[in-house]
Structures are given as structure tokens and as C-alpha cells.
Amino acid sequence: MNAPRLQLRDVPPRSAFALEQAGAHPLLARLLAARGVCRPEELDDGLAQLLPPQALAGADAAARLLADTVQQRHRLCVVADYDCDGATACAVLLRGLRLLGAAPGTLHYVVPDRAVHGYGLTPAIVDLACAKQPQLLVTVDNGIASFEGVAHARACGLQVLVTDHHLPAVDDGQVRLPPADVIVNPNQPGCGFASKALAGVGVVFYVLLATRAELRARGAFDAAAQPKLDSLLDLVALGTVADVVQLDANNRRLVAQGLKRIRAGRMQPGVAALFAVAGRDPRRAAAFDFGFALGPRINAAGRLSDMTVGIECLLSDDAARAAALAQALDGINRQRRELESGMQQQAQVALDGLMPDEQVAPPSALALFDPAFHEGVVGIVAGRLKDRLHRPAFVFARGADGWLKGSGRSIPGFHLRDALDLVAKRHPQLLQRFGGHAMAAGCSIAEAQFGAFGQALQQVADEWLDPAMLTRTLRTDGPLQAEWFNPSTAALLEAQVWGQGFEAPLFCDEVQVLQQRLVGEKHLKLRVRHAGAVRDAIWFGRAEPVAEQLRLAYRLSVDEWQGQQRVQMVVEAAG
């Protein structure tokens, strides 16, 4: 593949000046202004700045339902999801209701098995939940498209509260919602909540805030003695980052507050145990840890085993039990990595068949299937293909029910769920079911229809994507002044909340390569001259040598060795 195009971010000078005058570090002021932060008050990440729960449609009705359940000591069952967002949402709701006074023995949960039950609130999951004898069923991170499941639950005499953040189904241009008693979803019609990017765990946290206010209004406690729901923010932050939702201002505040509590040692035992097995220091916790260390270990349980392990780890108040469950999750994640590595090799063989000539550009969209692929890892492999080739990619595995289960990842400008919707309209018998977001989606098809799906997806991609969109663009923050190339600057940047839609700083400078060698057989270690000084740099996953003079796009990282801290460049690309 060709090198990515490096594009310099625009920095509105007035915004940068206002932020600097408000006390922001000059470099940080420039970086934040380039990401759309324009007012000094946006620097305040305090809980008082969060959007109010009253703005979230359905939150007040959900609060009344949950308050009734708590006060009448009714039984409740949470229907969780098998990813990190769903696991943290389940743990937050159960922990939160306990704090709000739910009686022992009234709170239960079930979680689907990816291979057996599929996604969402299905009639089979309702039957599983009915064994807990609940009066109320609450979905977290799912349910907005579970028409049959909600109807079945209602027929069984259950009240149903759907909390979700996924896009609702659209039939003939009309939004279709399940027949639940209450729906809380910022993406449902008529919801004026300003943050449409709220994760499933964020929706649950807001429902709990509204429930606390309802119980306070009923006299269950006063403002001074009310339970402190901010103790749950470590879980909210973890699920928000792990689900790769856009980190808008509201989500960044939720994540920032969670990180502050973790750095201060205030976290659930399960979160502390996950930091320990990942070899990460919670005192220096960053959003990166959620996305690349803790999140994958929880997700691995839902991919290869049973997400009950992940949920129990997050629910446990016993440090020893949490540590044992975190160790189990770490072991499952190792299996996931081995499985993923094998699937990537198989995918490479398939790609070689699709693209025998490396000089020829790949198709505008990719769909791969191999009978040996594992259903639990197809999404990760699709993401790797998307990153490598900068193309929308779907990877399929054969499910236990005989259907091919596909998971897709997309690139900017190609809304994956809308693309599937168009495929479904053009080929009504092709997709058994589908759903998802702009950048990630899933579907089920008959094995005999795999070729037809690939052609249909590629046709949509050919229509929607032009050559410029098929060229990966890396937005950079330009040169880094020599005075800021130090550990304190790296620590300052590391302490900020970066992520989806609010990318970490990526600097770009001309350098002279003085030395280069291969380490670990696949990483390029460099010594470069930058701004008159000699720096260390590493380019992970790059084995080919580079030119003596080049422009590097890089991130700052602190390399600690024998108690000494050194700043190094972590290279993303060269232009």
C-alpha cells in the first residue's frame, strides 16, 4: 500500500490564544484548539459540566420504573451484551442499584453466548431471564432492534426497559422501535440529548443519575446523604473508551473523571486486578490503557468464552476473587491473540489470491470468509484489514446455526450500517439480519450468498468512495518545538483524554536518520537528528529500511529504563 497522505491540522489562532490565556500550556492550547475546543470553560472537566440527565429522553420514565422496583423490592434482571461496553454497563447498573437501596437477592443478570444466542434480546434470552423470576427486564447496550425479544418478554408478563445507544431500525424511511415500556437511547427520534455518542455504559450511568433524583424526590434520602454514583466512573470510563465511541466533550468529561479516580487509587477491585495482569500502572492510567490493555481482556471473554467471567470480575468486591478472574481473562486474551494471529495469516493468503499484484490497488471493499475462521475474532481481523488497506472490510465465520456471521469495520466517509441497509434494499433476500454503526457493523448471511454479498458491498463502495477517500489521511499537528521535547511534556499529553474523534497528538518533522536497525525481527529502531539534537525513535511493525532524510509523523512516548526516563518518537508514518 502507498504511504498515507499527511495533512496539517488547522489551528484557529483566537481559540488557541483564549485557551492559553485561561491557563492552558501553550502546546496544549494549540492541540486542543485544533480539535475544536474554543472556549476556556471547555477546559473544565468537572462533573458539574456534564449534560443534565433530564435532557435524555426516557430517563425520567426509566427512573420512575427503577425507583418503583427498588422501593417495592421487586426482582430485576439485566440482559447484558458480550462486549466491554455491555459488561461495564451491566456492572454499573447492578452496582448503582445496590447503592440506591435495592434489596439483596433482587438483582440478577444474564448475558448471551455469542455462538449460541447471537446478539441482543432474543426470545431465547428472555426465557433464560425468566428463570430468575423478575418483574422487570432491563437491557444494557442492546435492545433497540429486539422486536421479537421485547414482544416475547411482554407476553411473559414482564415490564421491559431498553437502554441502548445503537441506531434504531428504519423500514421504508420510518424509524421502528420495539414495544418496550420505556426506551432510553440518545439516538431514538425526538431525543434532544446533545451527546449522541454516549456509550451503552454512559446511558446506564445517566439512567442511574435520574433514578437517584427520583428517589431523592420521594424522600428516600436527602442531597447530603445521597449515594455517590461517581464511584462508578472508573467503569463508565473503561466502557466508553473500549467501545470506541466518539469522545465528544461530554464523553471526555466522563473518561477524565474515571481516570482521576483510578490514578488516586479509587477503583473497583476488578479494575485494579485488570491493571495488574496487564502490567500497567494505575497511577499513570490513560485512556490508552482502557482501549489496548483492559478492554481487550474483557472483550476476549465474550469472543471466546463466557462474558460472565468479565462481568463477575467487575462486580466482585473481593480483591482475591477479582485477581483470579482477571488472571482467567488474561489467559483467554492470550488464546484470542493466538487465534487472531492464525486468522490474519489465513486472511493474507486469501488477499494474495484477490490481489496477486501488489502494485494493483485492492478492491474498494473487502469481504473474506474461511471455514476455519472463529466467529469471536472476525471483528478484530476486519479491523486489522481495514487499517492495513484503508478499505471497508467484512470478515465472516460459520456460526453454530449454519449462518455466516460477519463483522465489518469501515473508513471515514463510508457509513457501514447505511451501506448494509442499501444492500438489503437492493437484495431483499441476501441479509438475514444486520445492524451497527457508521464505523462498525455486523450481519448474517447464508453461506451460498457470500459471493453475492461481496459483490453487493463492493458495488456500494464503488458508488460512494472516490480515490481521495480510499487514500489514508493522517492529520498531524505539525512540528514539535525542541523546548517541548522532554518527559514533562510527554507526561502532560499522556494525562489528557484522547481517543476516537479526539485523536492523540501526532507531530511531523523533518529528520536525518543516523542509525537504523531491526529489533524483535519486525520493528525498526532509529537514531535521528531532530531540531539539532539526537533522538531515539521506533517504528512498530516496520521491517523495511528508510531513507536518510525523511519527514516523520510521530507521537511522543516516555521510555523508562533502570529508573531513567527518556522521550522517544513512536513513528506512525513517513512522508
CATH number at residue 75: 3.90.1640.30
Q: Which residues pair with 184 in a beta bridge?
A: 163
Structural domains of the chain, count: 3
- Alpha-helix residue ranges (DSSP H) falling in 305-426: 308-315, 319-354, 378-389, 416-426
Q: Could you list the mean pLDDT of each consecutive 10-residue stretch along the chain, which spans 575 residues?
A: 86 97 97 96 95 97 98 98 96 98 97 83 96 98 96 98 92 91 97 97 98 98 96 98 94 98 98 98 96 97 94 98 98 95 90 71 93 93 93 95 95 94 95 88 96 97 95 95 94 94 96 95 94 95 94 92 86 93
What's the CATH code of the domain at 411?
3.10.310.30
Report the C-alpha gap between 304 and 45 in whole angstroms. Answer: 37
- pLDDT at position 269 is 98
Cell numbers linked to 3: 504511504
Could you say which of 332, 364, 384 is where a domain stops? 332
Please give the full DSSP string across 283-302, using - where no structure is assigned: GG--HHHIIIIIHHHHHHHH
What's the CATH code of the domain at 477?
2.40.50.460
Do 440 and 529 belong to one domain?
Answer: no
**Cβ partners under 8 Å of residue 540, min gap 6:** 523, 570, 571
Do 323 and 367 belong to one domain?
Answer: no
Q: Is residue 389 part of a domain?
A: yes
Report the C-alpha gap between 330 and 297 in whole angstroms. Answer: 6
Do 248 and 360 belong to one domain?
Answer: no
236: number of Cβ within 10 Å: 26
- pLDDT at position 555 is 97
Q: Is residue 258 part of a domain?
A: yes
- pLDDT at position 247 is 96
Do 62 and 154 belong to one domain?
Answer: yes
**Cβ partners under 8 Å of residue 72, min gap 6:** none
- Alpha-helix residue ranges (DSSP H) falling in 355-486: 378-389, 416-426, 450-464
Report the C-alpha gap between 486 and 489 in whole angstroms. Answer: 6
- pLDDT at position 2 is 63
Do 214 and 193 belong to one domain?
Answer: yes
Do 450 and 365 belong to one domain?
Answer: yes
Length of the chain: 575
Could you say which of 464, 489, 506 is where a domain stops? 464
Could you say which of 437, 464, 491 is where a domain stops? 464
Task: Check the CA dihedral 346-351-353-356 and report its sign.
Answer: negative
Output the CA–CA distances (angstroms, integers) from residue 377 to 94, 299, 391, in the order listed: 28, 10, 19
Do 389 and 503 belong to one domain?
Answer: no
- Reduced to 3 states (helix: H, G, I; strand: E, B; else coil), residue 104 is coil
Q: Is residue 350 part of a domain?
A: no
**Cβ partners under 8 Å of residue 115, min gap 6:** 375, 376, 399, 400
Q: Which residues pair with 425 in a beta bridge?
A: none
Q: Is residue 414 part of a domain?
A: yes
Do 273 and 324 belong to one domain?
Answer: yes
Please give the full DSSP string across 9-56, using - where no structure is assigned: PP--HHHHHHHHHTT--HHHHHHHHHTT--SGGGG---GGGSPPGGGS
Q: Is residue 29 part of a domain?
A: no
Cell 497511577 sits on residue: 283
Q: Is residue 10 part of a domain?
A: no
User: Domain containing 370: what range?
Assistant: 355-464
Do 427 and 532 belong to one domain?
Answer: no
Do 444 and 557 belong to one domain?
Answer: no
Do 86 and 203 belong to one domain?
Answer: yes
Do 312 and 373 belong to one domain?
Answer: no
Name the nearest CA neighbour of 149 among 404, 425, 433: 433
Q: Would you say the pTM of this structure is higher than 0.85?
A: yes
